[in-house]
Amino acid sequence: MEQAKIRLFVEDDLAEGAVLNLAAQAHYLTNVMRLQAGALVALFNGRDGEWTARLVEAGKRRVTAECLGQAVGQGMPPDLWLLFAPIKKARTDFIVEKATEMGARRIQPVFTRFTNSERVRPDKLRAHCIEAAEQCGGVYVPELLAPTPLDKLLDTWPADRRLMFCDETADGMDAMGALTAAGGDKWAIIIGPEGGFATEEAERLRALSQSVPVSLGPRILRADTAAVAAMALWQVACGDWRV
Amino acid sequence: MEQAKIRLFVEDDLAEGAVLNLAAQAHYLTNVMRLQAGALVALFNGRDGEWTARLVEAGKRRVTAECLGQAVGQGMPPDLWLLFAPIKKARTDFIVEKATEMGARRIQPVFTRFTNSERVRPDKLRAHCIEAAEQCGGVYVPELLAPTPLDKLLDTWPADRRLMFCDETADGMDAMGALTAAGGDKWAIIIGPEGGFATEEAERLRALSQSVPVSLGPRILRADTAAVAAMALWQVACGDWRV
């Protein structure tokens, strides 16, 4: 089958013969990309894999598409959560985009003692996740949770979920060894705020029995850099980059 | 000794008793940070390590500082070059910032067949490197080379420098195993443009005897994400994050 060049996330169910209303994407499809009736698009909704669909109508206001067949099954990324303390807007957007590309299943903003920004717009962040999923060829959009205080989250931390904790005092630790040795298939990575964790927070994180402290080298990384670097190490050691 | 909170890159030599003219940073030091004479700052120039200095004058126009003592010796990051095809401005700035934090020694923009942006402002990029080095606590600012066509660069590629090539067709390869097995202490990482390498370029890269193809997982990564992820894997396998 001819290959669709444009990938779109939709909320509707996808199944053979289903006709979807793409009104929300009409401007993009007809004005920006200049698609006409008959053009193929790839659609995914995070549940039904990726479907090849053909535009039936491609008007200024009304765009519809019919699902022809499933091109990719619904794979799931590994069971990895990314916890991060919201930072300046551009970098928060960036973290959310990167978490999607790097294959996080859930994104959880956390408020720490030194979190500067308390303004998180979940709807905007979700739009970044969707755009990143459309671009990266994934069929999954991470679940984006409402921000929660770190203390509250740790009070009920699941016993079977390991927590990779990027510990600035863990220099010289064997990151890959620690991740591989910890094992398990439920994980989270926590990235601290710009000013680092407060002493009590770092102590609580270290004391948690599910915690796996890992060093990210001798230089201080910004939170957004640390998020990508930590997810890369985790994916290679425990996730779907592993051979 | 009391600890300086502000780190500044300077061009001058640093040595005990040296008095530096910080005119270029006067606005930042006196208006933004409101430092006064007697305040400590940390200075580095990429050659003499990090020095603690005391502000002697802290006027609106004239700021001078006297070097008191070396706080950190001049360490060098591993001999890693980052080659990347310039992309949209914000993401190019980001790659340069991340390369500094992640400990690249040299940054080399390359023009490939599908490189979209040919506008690279080396002076602006260097400013991003400097700012990142000030933030990340490093004492080294990567050398930033003028953009060069990829073909020309490969024509004279050094025999003893390995090239980590993020190959989208290498899915299922053992990245860490390939990096560790290749060994050597001179390396480069090459990150392709948004549209990927042209077929001939990918073939030439694969055919190069110094080339080490590596997979970055099942999702397509944007160039800036790929740069951070690749540097993280390399640092853990071969660089200064290795135990």
User: Could B236 and A175 be called an inter-chain contact, meaning their C-beta atoms sit closer than 8 Å?
Assistant: yes
Pairing type for strands A162-166 and B186-191 reads: unpaired
Q: Which has the higher per-residue pLDDT, B135 or B65?
A: B65
B233 touching A, CB under 8 A? yes
Phi, psi (rounded to 5 degrees) for B23 = -55, -40
Q: What is the pLDDT of residues B173-184, one digit of tens each?
A: 788 999 999 989
CATH T-level topology, domain A7-72: Ribosomal Protein L25; Chain P (2.40.240)
State residue A127's pLDDT score: 92
Which two tokens mark B72? 């950190």
Bridge partner list, A43: A8, A51
Ranges of CATH 3.40.1280.10 domains, chain A: 79-238
CB contact under 8 A, B219 and A172: no
Touching B: A residues 91-150, CB under 8 Å? 94, 97-98, 101-103, 135-138
Q: What is the ipTM score, two decimals? A: 0.92
Strand A162-166 versus strand A186-191 pairing type:
parallel
What does pLDDT average to in each consecutive run of 10 residues of chain A (243 residues)? 82 96 92 93 96 94 94 94 88 93 96 79 89 91 94 96 87 84 95 89 94 92 95 95 87
What's the burial of B66, exposed, middle or buried (CB within 10 Å: 0-12/13-18/19+)? middle
Q: Which regions of chain B carry the CATH code 2.40.240.20?
A: 7-72
Any chain B CB within 8 A of the CB of A215?
yes
Q: Measure the CA–CA gap between B84 and B224, rounded to whole angstroms.
A: 9
Summarize pLDDT for B18-40 with one digit per residue, the tens: 999 999 899 999 999 999 999 99
Distances (CA, A) of B124 to A221, B105, B129: 21, 18, 9
Distance from C-alpha of A157 to C-alpha of A146, rounded to nearest angstrom: 16
> Mind giving me the DSSP string for A40-100?
EEEEE-SSS-EEEEEEEEE-SS-EEEEEEEEEE------EEEEEE---SHHHHHHHHHHHH
Three-state DSSP class for A175?
Answer: helix
Task: Give B156 to chain A, closest Cα distance, Å.
Answer: 31
Q: What length does chain A have?
A: 243
CATH 3.40.1280.10 fits A79-238, yes or no: yes
Q: Determine contact: B72 vs chain A, CB below 8 A.
A: no
